[in-house]
Amino acid sequence: MASTKKQFRVKPGEKVSLADHDPADTGGVTKKQASEMVAELQGRLNELQELLYATEKYGLLVVLQGMDTSGKDGVIKHVVGTFNPQGCQVTAFKVPSSEELAHDFLWRIHKAIPGRGQVGIFNRSHYEDVLVVRVEGLVPEPVWRERYEAISEFEEALAESGVVVVKFFLHISKKEQRKRLEERLADRREYWKFRLGDLKARAKWDEYMAAYEDALNRCSTEHAPWYIIPADRKWYRNLVISQILAETLEALDMEWPPLEPGAEGIKIE
Q: Are 166 and 251 in contact (CB under 8 A)?
A: no
Q: What is the pLDDT of residue 2?
A: 62
Sequence-distant (6+) residues with CB within 8 A of 117 are 52, 53, 54, 55, 56, 57, 58, 59, 87
- Kindly list the domain boundaries of the chain, sorted by start residue: 4-10+23-250
* Cα–Cα distance, 228 to 236 (Å, whole number): 13
- What CA–CA distance (Å, rounded) separates 245 from 228? 14
The pLDDT, as a whole number, for residue 263 is 87
Give yes or no for a contact between 131 and 65, defined as CB atoms under 8 angstroms apart.
yes
Whole-model pTM: value is: 0.95
CA–CA dist 51, 46 (Å, integer): 9
Specify the pLDDT at position 88.
96
Angle value at C-alpha 226, between 242 and 215, nearest 5 degrees: 145
104, 132 Cβ separation under 8 angstroms: no
Query: Domain 4-10+23-250 sits in which CATH superfamily?
Result: P-loop containing nucleotide triphosphate hydrolases (3.40.50.300)
Q: List the pLDDT tens digit at each of the 269 positions of the chain.
A: 468 999 999 999 889 999 999 999 999 999 999 999 999 999 999 999 999 999 999 999 999 999 999 999 999 999 988 899 999 999 999 999 999 999 999 999 999 999 999 999 999 999 999 999 999 999 999 999 999 999 999 999 999 999 999 999 999 999 999 999 999 999 999 999 998 888 999 999 999 999 999 999 999 999 999 999 999 999 999 999 999 999 999 999 899 999 999 888 888 88
